[in-house]
Chains A and B, each alone.
Chain A
Amino acid sequence: QVQLVESGGGVVQPGRSLRLSCAASGFNFPDFGMHWVRQAPGKGLEWVAVSAYDGIGTHYGDSVRGRFTVSRDNSKNLLYLEMNTLRLEDTAVYFCTKERTPRVATSNDAWGQGILVTV
């Protein structure tokens, strides 16, 4: 079955950096676009970033563009989120999530359990 496991969260001071990882299993990772979505405490969902299946196409939410970088290692089934110049408002649970359809962007059908980042 599909599994997505985030790691790398924790407490960090404003202005510092942190890198999240997401280990994927149970599906052919190189065929699927992968996203990061976050949720501030008590708030709604905010889309953060996407890496296309080949890692070449990326897009970012307005609030993180220029500070965050999404990347992937298809040989290791890993997705990353490099977060720089962190702000208080970046405090959230970060979810790794998978596209439903290979090589097509439609919806997010599997989610990790989330990892807390506290700035």
Chain B
Amino acid sequence: EIVLTQSPATLFLSPGERVTLSCRTSQNIYNNLGWYQQKPGQAPRLLMYETFNRATGISDRFSGSGSGTDYTLTISSLDPEDFAVYYCQQRHEWPITFGQGTRLEIK
């Protein structure tokens, strides 16, 4: 199976800061990567699909990039509601796999 490695595990940031989250895959997934946000006690929410595309209703503060085995999610200016856990997910082949998550915490 394809292994996804997210870094860092935790980030301490302040509202208004810019942040870039990393997701590295164990093999080329040809941009078949999505990002999800999860807040405590809630279901995950789709942010980005196929690397670059924002899901319906997602703020343009979120952007995705990458290719091959290296992908990033950037939040241009952190809003207090953005502090959550972020997961990447590969959809290139079965079984689908997730990264272990990056937690954004308020400094």
Please tell me which one of the listed residues A37, A47, A100, A111 contacts residue B49 in the complex, with CB atoms under 8 A apart: A100
Q: Mark B49-71, 1 if CB is under 8 A from A, else 0.
A: 11000011000000000000000
**Alpha-carbon gap, A7 to B99, bound state (A):** 27
Say yes or no: is B22 at the interface (Cβ < 8 Å to chain A).
no
Residue pair A106, B50 in contact (C-beta under 8 Å): yes
Residue pair B44, A100 in contact (C-beta under 8 Å): no
Residue among A45, A59, A114 with most chain B CB within 10 A: A45
**Which chain A positions have C-beta within 8 A of B98?**
44-47
Q: Mark A68-94, 1 if CB is under 8 A from B, else 0.
A: 000000000000000000000000000
Q: How distant is A22 from chain B, measured CB to nearest CB, in Å?
A: 12
Residue pair B101, A44 in contact (C-beta under 8 Å): yes
**Which chain B positions have C-beta within 8 A of A46?**
98
Say yes or no: is A28 at the interface (Cβ < 8 Å to chain B).
no
Please tell me which one of the listed residues B50, B85, B96, B101 contacts residue A47 in the complex, with CB atoms under 8 A apart: B96
How many residues of A are counted as interface, with CB atoms below 8 angstroms from the partner's CB atoms?
23
Q: How distant is B5 from chain A, measured CB to nearest CB, in Å?
A: 12
Task: List residues of B whose CB falls within 8 A of some A CB.
Answer: 1, 32, 34, 36, 38, 43-46, 49-50, 55-56, 85, 87, 89, 91, 94-101
Residue pair A50, B96 in contact (C-beta under 8 Å): yes
Identify 11 new A-B residue pairs, CB closer than 8 A, beyond the known A45-B101, A106-B50: A35-B96, A44-B85, A45-B38, A47-B96, A59-B94, A59-B95, A62-B95, A106-B32, A107-B89, A108-B34, A112-B43
Say yes or no: is A113 at the interface (Cβ < 8 Å to chain B).
yes
**Alpha-carbon gap, A44 to B32, bound state (A):** 20
**Which chain B positions have C-beta within 8 A of A109?**
46, 49, 55-56
Q: How distant is A81 from chain B, measured CB to nearest CB, in Å?
A: 15
| A111 touching B43 in the complex, CB below 8 Å, given contacts A44-B87, A106-B49 | yes
